Amino acid sequence: MSAFTRFLKENKKERPNAKYAASTAFTDEKGNPLEWEIRPITTAENERFRDACIKKVKDKKGITRSELDTRAYTLKLIVASVVEPNLNSSELQDSYGVMGAEELIVAMLDNPGEYDKLGAFIAEFNGFNKSIDDDIEEAKN
């Protein structure tokens, strides 16, 4: 096989899904936290999420600039990555009295530490070595 043919799509390794116990609030019959299934996102998906989360802000001098809404971006990243539980299940949404996957994940993970840890796990799983917030703090300094 030539070096060039190694780059062909049929030779590309697929990234497998991962398991992650996102919360201690959901357990099996033995009390062990349930594992959630997390899928990797694509670069194209990531770009769509980032584009959707750009907002215009004015600084103290009245100059408008673009800024990434990291909370909205993290929420989109989480929702797109969670395979199981199915956040689009109307039965699951009804049980929490919410509409939509984004509202559901916030209702299910009402422990902010668990929500943040899930976001950090998903970011790292998708190849981001640091959290988005770390990057923003680093850019500010």
pLDDT band with cut points at 50, 70 and 90 for residue 131: low
Query: Is the predicted pLDDT of residue 21 greater than 70, yes or no?
Result: yes
CATH of the domain at 32: 3.30.2220.30
Average pLDDT, the chain: 90
**What is the extent of the structural domain holding 31?**
13-41+71-131
The string of pLDDT tens digits covering residues 103-126 is 999 999 999 999 999 999 999 999
Query: Is the predicted pLDDT of residue 135 greater than 80, yes or no?
Result: no
Domain count, the chain: 1
Contacts of 20-29 with C-beta under 8 Å, sequence gap 24+, read 20/118, 20/121, 20/125, 22/109, 22/114, 22/117, 22/118, 22/121, 23/108, 23/109, 23/111, 23/114, 24/114, 25/111, 25/114
The string of pLDDT tens digits covering residues 61-117 is 888 888 899 999 999 999 999 999 999 999 999 999 999 999 999 999 999 999 999
Asked if residue 3 is part of any domain, the answer here is no
